[in-house]
Amino acid sequence: MANALAEVRAMGETVELKRYRSLASGSADVVLLFDQNLRLKYASRDTYLLDTAPADTCWKRFLDRIHTSDRMHVMQAQNKVRSTAGSAEHLEFRIATDIGTRYISGRVCNLLQDDSVQGVAFYLSDVTAQWTLDELTELHSRPWFIDRLERTNGSHREIGAMYAVLHIQLNQYHQIRRSFGNDVGQALLRAAADRLRNRLRRADPVARIGENTFGVIMEHVQSISDAEQFAANIADLMDAPFFVCGQELCATVSVGIAASQSVDGSPEDVLQAAAISVRGARPRGHSYHTTYEARAQEQAKQRLLLELDLRSALTRGEFHLVYQPIHDVQNERVAGCEALIRWIHPEKGFISPATFIPVAEEAGLINDIGEWVLHEACRQSQRWRGSGLELLKIGVNISAAQLHPEFLTVVDSVLDETGINPRCLKLEVTETSIIDSPEEATDTLLALKQRGIGLALDDFGTGFSSLSYLHRFPFDTIKIDRAFIKHLGTQESDGKDEALVKTIVGLGQNLSMSTVAEGIESEEQLAMVTSWGCDFGQGYFLARPMKAEQFSEHLRTATLG
């Protein structure tokens, strides 16, 4: 009886063992068991992790297949675990296979003391799908893209073929997310990804490589113009309005292109070159593409260095403001001034705002810098007032990136802290800065106007000069760009500038807006714009930008005079 029982138990065990073995071999995960000497004892199934190798070389085979940068991590985990009975370590590593990189996640456990196992066990899952897919857009992910790029690079360089990388940035994503919320932002990304996917062939390598950026690899391109043509098509495609969450939204893309032939370095350098090429000056209001050129690399590097320095310029107190008087030319008196930022770099010296403001805008630093300027200008205006000077208007330049609803909070706190009368403040915005998102800009500008703050359209005539802007936005003042004043009364004048300036002055009068002629450099120019009915003038002939103390002096003498 006792023998029979033992026999049944033995039979039972065998069945159980068989069952476990079958179950384990059918699992998507792999269990590998190595003995004390790292000889393979058991593998739950055949796996590309090992291929076919004799049991005593399996460990080496396994290590060889692991991505060089991850190998040390696996060896260290295994060594650590092997020295402490019952311990375990988490593992994440990549394996190179013929069909590309696989991403493995799992654990290694010391079960040497466990009599039924007596080994070091690896429980491994292939998580490539999770790793390589971007859940939101269902495009590939950045790790997948980099891996694919490395393989494309290898196969193309070997035969001297060329490939191109496209870095596609959805420009208004952050602005839209801020205004309409995260759901709309995400829906927009999905819609943009769909457009991209529909434009490409199924097998084309496309991925979401950053929060609002996509990457495409164009393999075997004959010339860079193939990639440029393709980028132009994508740009056109994205310019059509998007309909998401019941809203019609306009977004543009900036496409940077880099060809493998024009970049010395790793495949990631090619991708970076594509990203760098979209960082230059960009046209607003529509999508565009630019191609990376090695020559531009140096400029891009300088730009990056400038960006780094800009990041600390505010905290290091390297900025100051100067004030350029604005004269009421009809009544020959000083009407106010424009605050202009100055940056004295500790090594490079003076850097023009025309150079660093666009960098600050691109780098997302303009909000902080702009807030500082506004604060400082209002504080200065109050200081002048406190010293008994007449109530004057102070103009402050505002960048496109500042024109979002949160700017109102900044303005309110500046008004509050400095106590400036909003009627003494005039914000200057350029037409190019409102074109990117006119709806958001309209709301913000209207809210500023309601606070009694003046609004000037700066550099009029240099951007799109859409007359509908004058009608649509609540501007009080048009500042006629220096480019139209420059040639007045000189030999280069062909009469057209004169006609244009007169027309803009007339336009202002008809729309009840005042006009300022910028960049008056001669007495003749001053006389001309005055005779045409222009209200205000600004320029070197009248006064150059000056420090605050000089301005109060200028005001005293000019008012008395």
Q: Which residue ranges make up the site for ligand C2E (CB under 6 A)?
A: 324, 340-341, 352-354, 357, 370, 373, 397-399, 428, 458-459, 482, 518-521, 538-540, 545
User: Of ligand C2E, Mg ion, none, which one sits near residue 5, judging by CB under 5 to 8 A according to partner kind?
Assistant: none
Say how far apart CA 130 and CA 140 lie, in whole Å.
10
Query: Min. distance of Cβ 281 from ligand C2E in angstroms?
Result: 14
Query: Min. distance of Cβ 316 from ligand C2E in angstroms?
Result: 17
Please say which residue, 134 or 459, places its beta carbon nearer to Mg ion: 459
Please say which residue, 134 or 428, places its beta carbon nearer to ligand C2E: 428
Structure tokens at 111: 């079960």
**Measured between alpha carbons, how far is residue 481 from residues 496, 516, 540 in Å?**
14, 9, 14
Please say which residue, 119 or 519, places its beta carbon nearer to ligand C2E: 519
Is there binding between residue 89 and Mg ion (CB under 5 A)?
Answer: no
Query: Min. distance of Cβ 436 from ligand C2E in angstroms?
Result: 15
Q: Which x/- pattern over 494-533 shows residues binding Mg ion (rule: CB under 5 A)?
A: ------------------------x---------------
Is there binding between residue 444 and Mg ion (CB under 5 A)?
Answer: no
Is there binding between residue 428 and Mg ion (CB under 5 A)?
Answer: yes
Question: Is 164 in contact with 257 (CB distance < 8 Å)?
Answer: yes
Q: Say which amino acid occupies 386.
A: G
Please say which residue, 1 or 350, places its beta carbon nearer to ligand C2E: 350
Is there binding between residue 535 and Mg ion (CB under 5 A)?
Answer: no
User: Of ligand C2E, Mg ion, none, which one sits near residue 352, judging by CB under 5 to 8 A according to partner kind?
Assistant: ligand C2E
Is there binding between residue 458 and Mg ion (CB under 5 A)?
Answer: yes
User: Of Mg ion, ligand C2E, none, which one sits near residue 147, judging by CB under 5 to 8 A according to partner kind?
Assistant: none
Q: Which x/- pattern over 150-179 shows residues binding Mg ion (rule: CB under 5 A)?
A: ------------------------------
Please say which residue, 124 or 373, places its beta carbon nearer to ligand C2E: 373
For 55, what's the count of Cα atoms within 13 Å in the CB-facing half-sphere?
A: 10
Which residue, among 313, 259, 260, has the nearest Cα to 289 in the 3D structure? 259
Which of the stretches 14-22, 364-372, 427-435, 507-515 binds Mg ion when contact is defined by CB under 5 A?
427-435
Q: Tell me the CA end-to-end span of the chain in Å, nearest whole number.
A: 128
| Beta strands 40-43 and 30-34, pairing class | antiparallel
Say how far apart CA 396 and CA 454 lie, in whole Å.
10
Taking the CA atoms of residue 511, residue 513, residue 518 and residue 522 in that order, the dihedral angle to the nearest 10 degrees is 90
**Cα 499 → chain centroid:** 41
Max intra-chain CA distance, the chain? 128
Query: Which residue minimizes CB distance to Mg ion?
Result: 428
Query: Min. distance of Cβ 441 from ligand C2E in angstroms?
Result: 14
Which residues, other chains included, contact 408 with Cβ-Cβ below 8 Å and sequence gap of 6+?
Answer: 444, 447, 448
Please say which residue, 42 or 372, places its beta carbon nearer to ligand C2E: 372
Please say which residue, 243 or 464, places its beta carbon nearer to Mg ion: 464
Say how far apart CA 105 and CA 268 lie, in whole Å.
24
**Cα 471 → chain centroid:** 32
Q: Say which amino acid occupies 393.
A: K
Which of the stretches 33-41, 242-250, 389-397, 435-443 binds Mg ion when contact is defined by CB under 5 A?
389-397
Q: Is 207 left (phi over 0), alpha (psi -120 to 50) or beta?
A: beta
Say how far apart CA 414 and CA 431 lie, in whole Å.
25
Question: Is 33 in contact with 41 (CB distance < 8 Å)?
Answer: yes
Which residues, other chains included, contact 40 with Cβ-Cβ below 8 Å and sequence gap of 6+?
Answer: 32, 33, 34, 50, 55, 56, 58, 59
User: Of ligand C2E, Mg ion, none, which one sits near residue 373, judging by CB under 5 to 8 A according to partner kind?
Assistant: ligand C2E
Query: Which residue minimizes CB distance to ligand C2E?
Result: 539
Please say which residue, 292 or 460, places its beta carbon nearer to ligand C2E: 460
Query: Min. distance of Cβ 355 from ligand C2E in angstroms?
Result: 9
Which residues, other chains included, contact 154 with Cβ-Cβ below 8 Å and sequence gap of 6+?
Answer: none
Query: Min. distance of Cβ 397 from ligand C2E in angstroms?
Result: 4
Is there binding between residue 431 and Mg ion (CB under 5 A)?
Answer: no
Please say which residue, 147 or 518, places its beta carbon nearer to Mg ion: 518
> Residue 14: which H helix or E strand, with range?
helix 2-26
Please say which residue, 78 or 397, places its beta carbon nearer to ligand C2E: 397
Beta bridge partners of 486: none
Q: Which three-class secondary structure state does DSSP give residue 453?
A: coil
Query: Min. distance of Cβ 482 from ligand C2E in angstroms?
Result: 6
User: Of Mg ion, ligand C2E, none, which one sits near residue 377, judging by CB under 5 to 8 A according to partner kind?
Assistant: none
Which of the stretches 100-108, 190-198, 426-434, 444-452 binds Mg ion when contact is defined by CB under 5 A?
426-434
Q: Which three-class secondary structure state does DSSP give residue 15?
A: helix
Please say which residue, 357 or 505, places its beta carbon nearer to ligand C2E: 357
Q: Which x/- pattern over 459-478 shows residues binding Mg ion (rule: CB under 5 A)?
A: x-------------------
Query: Min. distance of Cβ 541 from ligand C2E in angstroms?
Result: 7
Is there binding between residue 397 and Mg ion (CB under 5 A)?
Answer: yes
Which residue, among 345, 516, 385, has the nearest Cα to 377 in the 3D structure? 385
Q: For the residues of 90-146, what is the DSSP string, one character each?
A: EEEEEEEETTEEEEEEEEEEEETT-TTT-EEEEEEEE-HHHHHB-TTT-SB-HHHHH
Query: Min. distance of Cβ 365 from Mg ion in angstroms?
Result: 19
Query: Min. distance of Cβ 398 from ligand C2E in angstroms?
Result: 6
Query: Min. distance of Cβ 427 from ligand C2E in angstroms?
Result: 10
Three-class HEC string of 327-363: EECCCCEEEEEEEEEEEEECCCEEECHHHHHHHHHHC
Say how far apart CA 477 and CA 505 lie, in whole Å.
11
Please say which residue, 246 or 317, places its beta carbon nearer to ligand C2E: 317
Q: Which three-class secondary structure state does DSSP give residue 263?
A: coil
Instruction: Enumerate binding residues for Mg ion (CB under 5 A).
Output: 397, 428, 458-459, 518
